Amino acid sequence: MKILRVTLPFLLLFILVFIDNASAATHEEMVAKYIEMSGIGEMLKSIPGEMDSFASQKNLTSKHPDVDGKVYQLMKESFDLIQTEKDLFAYLLRNTDQKYLGEILQWLASPVAKKIMNEKVNSA
């Protein structure tokens, strides 16, 4: 009975980890899951807003705010989120392997990583 009490929690943990990793079995799925879990996707989506903030701040001290404003507007308009996401996805596919991504995804699913990500979101 003692063995069952000790073994059962480890068995359940193993099953949960295996099921979680099995749901992202292909390299492509693992890369997509990494982009989502790590917060990189959300960071990319925030770039246009960050550009606006930076432009507003720079506009206060600029000698030529009209020219700077046009430059920032051009930069913002030329930022292609979809292409950036595709490039990131392709880069990660080329430069990572499934074992490495599996280890990262396992860590990102841990309570410590979740707490770090929550604190990061709350501090923003």
Residue 111: partners with Cβ closer than 8 Å, 6 or more residues away: none
The reported pLDDT for the residue numbered 4 is 47
Which one-letter amino acid corresponds to residue 90?
A
Reply yes or no on whether the pLDDT at 93 is more than 90. Answer: yes
Highest-scoring range by mean pLDDT, 4-13, 17-26, 57-66, 104-113: 104-113
The reported pLDDT for the residue numbered 123 is 77
Residue 98: alpha-carbon gap to chain centroid: 17
Q: Copy the structure tokens of residue 33.
A: 């899951």
Residue 67: partners with Cβ closer than 8 Å, 6 or more residues away: none
The reported pLDDT for the residue numbered 81 is 94
Which of 75, 73, 110, 87 has the alpha carbon at shortest distance from 35? 87
